[in-house]
Amino acid sequence: MARKPRLVFANAIYHITFRGNERRDIFCDDKDRERFLLSLAERAPTYQVRLYLYVLMTNHVHLLLETRLPNVSAFMGSLLTSYAAYFNLRHRRAGHLTQNRYHSSLVEGNNYLLRLSRYIHLNPVFIKTLITETLNNRICYLRDYRWSSYRSYAGLSVLDNFMDYEPILTMMPGLSKKNQQIKYQKYVEGGVAFTDDEFQALIKRSRLGIGSEEFIKEVQQRYRQGAIHIRAEDVAFRRPIQAVAPDAIIQAICRAYRISAEVFLKQRMNDWIKPVAAALLAQASGLSQREVATRLGLTTGAAVSLQLKRLRNQLPIEHQNILKRLTREFSI
């Protein structure tokens, strides 16, 4: 059966979920979780994505985000491909990491956005092992859960610099951010004692969107009228991911440009060869931008991020052709 194309446009708000293939774990330990968050933090500014919140569970992930550009597929393709390459390399495995492609629902703002944030942040306490726990124990578990943006929203930890808290916190009464965080904590923790059946039914009503009847009708109309972009990235990262050794990538680049490894290391980032290498290393090897910087002799991961932006917008045609050929070679 053909896959339904995704609704993609600028300034869209998405609730995105994905889970492990055959519902298997996609995080084996805290190192995996830290690596995923690092990849998320690096890619959000690169793709101009406003990340509202996240929750990492053992075998699935929730993201709430806004795309300033019509590039949700490119963003998610880069995020999932790089993490799968890292995970497979670290855990000595091959094949799909995630089950099918990720699911995305468009979200109406205001109250629907606020209620969805509570629903997502409460995921860690609505699991089978906590059903019989006391209300107080479940609230304590929620406050201590490290792999969620909830702690920073509630003022229990420092704010993450890659997150955008304003759209949700400004819906809380209070003149200061601290007051808004206190109100948000009460709002979310008030939902631990009960299941918001009405909102869960709203989520299940349409796979395309979460919002009012008028909003859902508008989304359905956009879909019927073809206000969509079918992105190759939607299906690309469903290919089995086999991490490629960084040395193999650099050797392939040297062959493509007919240069030696010594000459490659002397290349500057504005000569285009190293930006192409940075893109391939991040995707096919699953290296973080800091690790790419170390490989390429740069000072910081931020330098890699800037060059990847420049590569997408300005890459000359001859280098585009080489990047496409090497991308196919490594099955990215």
* Percent of the chain clearing pLDDT 90 (strictly above): 43
What average pLDDT does this structure show over 267-281?
A: 81
pLDDT at residue 230 above 70?
no
Provide the pLDDT for residue 226. Answer: 63
Of residues 84 and 226, more confidence is placed in: 84
Question: Bridge-partner residues for 19, per DSSP?
Answer: 60
| CATH of region 12-236 | 3.30.70.1290
Lowest-confidence segment of 23-32, 57-66, 187-196 by average pLDDT: 187-196
pLDDT at residue 30 above 90?
yes
User: Which sequence spans correspond to the domains of the chain?
Assistant: 12-236, 246-329
Topology alike, domains 12-236 and 246-329: no
Of residues 204 and 103, more confidence is placed in: 103
154 pLDDT tier (thresholds 50, 70, 90) = very high
CA end-to-end distance (rounded Å), the chain: 23
What is the secondary structure of 227-259 as a DSSP string?
Answer: -----THHHHTTSPB----HHHHHHHHHHHHT-
242 pLDDT tier (thresholds 50, 70, 90) = low
What average pLDDT does this structure show over 6-27?
A: 90
Orientation angle between helical segments 273-284 and 301-314, nearest 10 degrees: 110
What average pLDDT does this structure show over 317-328?
A: 86
4 pLDDT tier (thresholds 50, 70, 90) = low
Residue 248 neighbours by CB under 8 Å, 6+ apart: none
pLDDT at residue 169 above 90?
yes
Provide the pLDDT for residue 103. Answer: 92
Provide the pLDDT for residue 239. Answer: 44
Provide the pLDDT for residue 179. Answer: 95
Residue the block writes with tokens 């006391």: 134
The CB density around residue 45, as the number of other CB atoms within 10 Å, is 15
Provide the pLDDT for residue 117. Answer: 97
13 pLDDT tier (thresholds 50, 70, 90) = very high
Lowest-confidence segment of 16-30, 48-62, 230-244 by average pLDDT: 230-244
Amino acid in position 213: E
59 pLDDT tier (thresholds 50, 70, 90) = very high
CATH class of 246-329: mainly alpha
Strand 103-107 relative to strand 209-210, pairing: parallel
CA 209 – CA 204 distance, rounded (Å): 9
What average pLDDT does this structure show over 275-283?
A: 83
What average pLDDT does this structure show over 128-151?
A: 94
61 pLDDT tier (thresholds 50, 70, 90) = very high
CA 209 – CA 219 distance, rounded (Å): 7
pLDDT one-digit tens code per residue, 85-130: 899 989 988 888 988 889 999 999 888 999 999 999 999 999 888 9
